Chain A
Amino acid sequence: MRFSSSQKKHKLNRAAVNLSSMIDVTFLLLVYFIVTTVLATPEDLLTPALKVEEGTSLSVEELDPQIIEIRLQEGTPLYVIGSHLCPDRESLAQVLATLPIEPGLILRVSNEVPVGFAVAAIQVARDANFEKVTYVPAK
Chain B
Amino acid sequence: MRFKSKKSQDTGLIVEMTPMIDIVFLLIIFFMVAAQFAQQARLEMKLPQERGESAKDSQNTGLVINIRNDGAIILDVDSPPITIDALDERVQMAVTSDSAPWESLLIRADQNASTTTLNEVLRLLNKHGLSATRIATEVP
| Residues of chain A lying within 8 A (CB to CB) of residue B47 | 43
CB nearest to B110 among chain A residues: A115
User: How many of chain A's residues touch chain B, expressed as a range?
Assistant: 35 or more
Within 8 A of A (CB), among B31-55: 31-32, 34-35, 38, 41-42, 47-55
**A26 sits at the interface (CB 8 A):** yes
Q: Is the interface of B mostly helix, strand, loop or mixed?
A: mixed
Check if A138 is an interface residue, CB within 8 A of chain B: yes
B41 x A26 contact (CB < 8 A)? no
Q: Which residues of B contact A127 (CB under 8 A)?
A: 51
A97 at the binding interface (Cβ < 8 Å): no
Q: How far is the CA of A80 from the CA of B101 in the complex (A)?
A: 36
- Closest residue of A by beta carbon distance from B17: A19
**Is B118 part of the binding interface, using a Cβ–Cβ cutoff of 8 Å?**
yes
Interface residues of A in 86-104 (CB under 8 A from B): none
In the bound complex, residues from chain B placing their C-beta under 8 Å from that of A118 are: 115, 118
- Decide: A44 near B48, CB < 8 A? Known: A30-B31, A115-B110, A118-B115: no
List the A side residues contacting B113 at CB < 8 Å.
Answer: 114-115
Q: Is there contact, CB below 8 Å, between A112 and B116?
A: yes
Query: What is A's interface to B at a CB cutoff of 8 Å?
Result: 19, 22-23, 26-27, 29-30, 33-34, 36-52, 70, 109-116, 118-120, 122-123, 126-127, 135, 137-138
